Amino acid sequence: MYPTLEARWFMRGSIPHEVREWFARGEPAPIHEPPRMDHYLRLQRSNALGIKLREGRLEIKQRLHQ
C-alpha cells in the first residue's frame, strides 16, 4: 500500500488567494478516512481512460485534454 495525496481543481480562472496560501504553508490538515480497496482495470493502449471498481460501484473516467 502506498500513501497518496490528491488535489483536484475543477474551476476556471485563477486560484483564490486563500487556497494558494493554504498550499504555500505546506501544512494541510490531515483528513482521516477509513481504508478502502479499489480495483483498477489496466488498459494497455490508453492512458486517457481509467476504469475502477470502488465499493461496489464501477467508475469510468476519461481525460479529454492534456
Q: Which of 49, 24, 50 is nearest to 39 (CA)?
A: 50
Q: Find cell 486560484 and name the residue.
A: 15
Based on the structure, what is the number of domains in the chain? 1
CA distance 2 to 38: 13
The pLDDT > 90 percentage for the chain reads 26
Residue 42 lies in a domain: yes
Instruction: For residue 64, give its domain range.
Output: 37-66
Is the residue at 22 inside a domain? no
Strands, E assignment, 1-66: 38-41, 49-54, 57-62
Side chain identity, residue 61: K
Mean pLDDT of the chain: 84
CB 9 within 8 A of CB 15: yes
What's the pLDDT at 40?
93
pTM, two decimals, is: 0.49
